[in-house]
Structure 1
Amino acid sequence: MADDDFRRWWGDHHVASRTRGNKILRHPIAGDLTLDWDALSCAGDPEQQLVVWTAEPGTPSHDALRLLASWTATADRSAANR
C-alpha cells in the first residue's frame, strides 16, 4: 500500500481477466470432470459474460457429460409426456 501506483491500480480495479482455462470439477455422480472453459463477453455490456464448458472428445470427462446429458433428455421427455 506504500506504492502510489499500486494504490491507484487497485482503486481503478484494472485487473487482467482470463477468457479461457481449464478446471477439474467434482460431480457427485459422474466423479471428477476435467473441463475447458471459454468466457464470451457481450460487446454492449462487457460486465456480462457467457461461460461455455466443454470436455475433450474421447475423454472420460466427455463420456460423463454425455451420460449426464442423456439423463436430462430422458427426464425432459418424461415430463413432456405427462
Structure 2
Amino acid sequence: ENQLTTVEAIINSMTMQERRNPKILNASRRRRIAAGSGKTVQDVNRLMKQFQDIQKLLKQLQKTGGRGNINRLIGSSRN
C-alpha cells in the first residue's frame, strides 16, 4: 500500500504532457516532480526505471506472441 501511495503521489505531480511522454523527464522536471510529491528524486528515477522495464517486457511479449516465452522473458528481465 505504501508503494502504491508513492507511485500515485509521483504520477499526480506530473503534468499531462509528462504522463503521456515520460521521455521528456529531464533532471529539473524530475526534481520538480519529487518536490511536488514529497518524495526523493531517487524515488522518481526508480519509478521511471520500472516503467521502462515494463514497457520493454511488453514489447518483447508482442514480438514473441506472448505465450510460451513468458517464463523466459520474466527470468531474463530480472537480471
TM-score (norm 1): 0.35
Structure whose residues are more often helix by fraction: 2
Higher relative contact order (CA 8 A, sep 6+): 2
Structure whose residues are more often strand by fraction: 1
